[in-house]
Amino acid sequence: MKKKSQNTVSMFENNIHIELEGYLREPSVDVQSDPMQWWNSRTTIYPNLSLTAKQYLCIPATSVPSERVFSTAGNIVNKKRTSLSPENVDMLLFLNKNYSI
């Protein structure tokens, strides 16, 4: 059974390698083009790479979430709580941003 799973992994790695080589041979696209549209049109050619690209292309290009975390950290670490350890600050920030009733 172990040999079969190793063969499956080896085949997957080979497919990824072939997709990557094909992608690297693609001509550069215009700066004004939509990357999501480009990947959607090539999903059948590069199925594994397109999944990864779509995952990273969906990340919003904004600093708002990080600014909110800094703002929350400023509310947690104040003059009366300056002796909090970094680990406790991390835990409090995590709880503040991820806990909901």
pLDDT tens for 11-70 read 889 999 999 999 999 999 888 888 889 999 999 999 999 999 888 887 777 788 788 888
Pull the structure tokens for residue 13. Answer: 């790695």
For position 100, what pLDDT does the model report? 66
Q: Is 66 helix (H, G, I), strand (E, B) or coil?
A: helix
Q: Is the pLDDT of residue 88 over 80?
A: yes
Residue 23 near residue 49, CB atoms below 8 Å = yes
What span, in angstroms and rounded, lies between the C-alpha atoms of 48 and 83? 48
Distance CA 58, CA 47 (A): 17
Residue 2 is predicted with a pLDDT of 57
pTM (2 d.p.)? 0.52
Query: Does the structure show a pLDDT above 80 at 71?
Result: yes
In this predicted structure, the answer to whether residue 4 has a pLDDT above a threshold of 80 is: no
